[in-house]
Amino acid sequence: MTLAQSKTILSTEEALDIIESAIFQSQAEGVFVSLSSSESALSRFSENQISQNIHKNRFNLTITSYFGKRSASASTTELDSDAIVETLRRCEDLARFAPEDPEWIELLCPQTYEDRKPAFDTATANISPLTKGEMLEKVCTQAKQKGVDGSGTLSTNVSLYAIGNSTGLRACDRSTEADFSFTARIDNGSSWGRDTAWGIEQLPLLETTEKVIERAITSRNPQEIEPGDYTVIFEPSAMATLLSMVIWNLDARAADEGRSFMSRSDKEGKAAGNRVGEQLFSQIVQIQRNPSHPLLQSSRFFGDALPNSNLEIVKDGIPQTLAYSRYWAQQQNRQPTGAMYPIVMTGGDKTIADLISNTEKGILVTRAWYVRYVNPRTLEVTGMTRDGTFLIDNGKIANPIKNLRFNQCLPEMLHNITDLSITKRCGGGVIPGCKVNNFHFSSVTDSV
């Protein structure tokens, strides 16, 4: 990785100058300014050939003006000074007539952020459409040679985010991301894979393509099995979908007000605090917020200007903290935490193949699809398997099976984890494959 002075988006100096100018021209008692600038490019392919190229440049400046406990926000997508002044005056006029906010919190003072820079990769920032086309040509050729129908996307994103307020707080980060998604179909078989990274050269395109193709071929002619409780081995991407829903629900206010699986109740059923410190999950479950993880190297601060630093979320299966907004932290005499991302779950030294070999009977799930809440209070969800679901028998893949619908309480799923694989970056997190006992499948589904 090297740091780049890319001209595709605003520089740090340009962004902070715009914020400085907006704050200087503000007539409000307080002002908070956020600025985002990005360039994204996506190449889409289907039927083993490129079908679409999209290139977008975005700029957004949002200003929030404060008069006492009254506030309002306005945004502009124009860079010129007249548009910025017009946006300032508009949000100031709105703020003067806005109702007082009963949960008003004073503006943050200047913060201390981690002494590091998010990953900004030159090759990703400057990659040409031709280079991406050549990369996808190899993917499509590989699919053709195996007789499968390949489709998916390859995208890059270069972004800058900057914030500032009238108390003197200033911060700016730039970063890059790359994303590759590939689906292979042949007859009635299919499989899917996705890789994300901060640099496009980190994406194992051909390795992922080969794995997905072989799994699609193996998944043909699936058999139907009876629904019920099974030992399940989740690929990292499938576990990431389910785990993220647990982390999103680690909100302190929802827990304290009795609206969360983390809520405690008294004998009368009324809210009585939260379950931080209780043994809720398997002892091998370790989860952190770790933006400095080598596979992530993400932003040093959140949109509300709170620091994005390392935070222990779950240790030895015991929740260590919840997400406290600035308002709720003040009400509970706690420190605000910022959001609970990016998620890093500690894995083991085994491969998915190792987890399979140690399983007498179970199911391998490649992808969790269309997951929705059944009961947000208990965190019961429903969803479907997709793109390659297999029966495991005596430590080996026995045969492909038809997709299944599941109904599962996610905290119970984390309690029933018995083994972990090595980790992989999945979206904006780092997740291992997981072996879970007594995962409930409610029915067979015709989804493909």
**pLDDT tens digits, 169-199:** 999 999 999 999 999 999 999 999 999 999 9
Q: Report the mean per-residue pLDDT for the chain.
A: 96
Q: What is the pLDDT of residue 272?
A: 84
Residue 328 located in a structural domain: no
Band of the pLDDT at 407, cuts 50, 70, 90? very high
Share of the chain above pLDDT 70, in %: 98
Counting the structural domains of the chain, the total is: 2
Band of the pLDDT at 8, cuts 50, 70, 90? low
d(C-alpha 152, C-alpha 143), whole Å: 12
Residue carrying structure tokens 């193709």: 213
Kindly tell me the sign of the dihedral angle through the C-alpha atoms of 223, 228, 233, 234. positive
Residue 112 located in a structural domain: yes
Residue 7 located in a structural domain: no
My answer on whether 402 and 444 are in the same domain is yes
Helix (H, G, I), strand (E, B) or coil at 444: strand
My answer on whether 158 and 18 are in the same domain is yes
d(C-alpha 385, C-alpha 238), whole Å: 9
d(C-alpha 374, C-alpha 381), whole Å: 5
My answer on whether 243 and 139 are in the same domain is no
pTM of the model: 0.95
Q: What is the pLDDT of residue 51?
A: 94
DSSP alpha helices (H): ranges in 26-119? Answer: 81-97
Q: What is the pLDDT of residue 267?
A: 81
Q: What is the pLDDT of residue 6?
A: 42
CB 113 within 8 A of CB 173: no
Residue carrying structure tokens 């785990």: 243
- pLDDT tops 80 at residue 396: yes
Band of the pLDDT at 268, cuts 50, 70, 90? confident
Kindly tell me the sign of the dihedral angle through the C-alpha atoms of 269, 270, 271, 277. negative
Band of the pLDDT at 265, cuts 50, 70, 90? confident
Which of 162, 197, 215 corresponds to the end of one domain?
215
Stretch 434-440: mean pLDDT, rounded?
A: 98
d(C-alpha 188, C-alpha 93), whole Å: 60
- pLDDT tops 50 at residue 4: no
Stretch 133-148: mean pLDDT, rounded?
A: 97
- pLDDT tops 80 at residue 3: no
Both structure tokens of 49: 């050939």
pLDDT digits (tens, 9 = 90+) for 210-261: 999 999 999 999 999 999 999 999 999 999 999 999 999 999 999 999 999 9
For the sheet containing 170-186, what is the strand order? 70-76, 49-67, 30-46, 149-165, 170-186, 189-197
Both structure tokens of 58: 């975005």
Stretch 370-391: mean pLDDT, rounded?
A: 97
CB 367 within 8 A of CB 383: no
Q: What is the pLDDT of residue 266?
A: 84
CA 234 to chain centroid, in Å, comes to: 17
- pLDDT tops 50 at residue 318: yes
Task: Using alpha carbons, list the distances in angstroms from residue 35 to 39, 264, 355.
Answer: 14, 40, 46
Stretch 67-76: mean pLDDT, rounded?
A: 98
My answer on whether 393 and 306 are in the same domain is yes
- Per the structure, the complete domain to which residue 168 belongs is given by 12-215
Both structure tokens of 74: 């306005």
CB 281 within 8 A of CB 268: no
My answer on whether 346 and 200 are in the same domain is no
Residue 264 located in a structural domain: no
Nearest to 433 by CA among 377, 359, 372, 341: 359
Instruction: Please tell me which residue, 357 or 7, carries the higher pLDDT value.
Output: 357
Rounded (5°) CA angle 237-240-246: 160
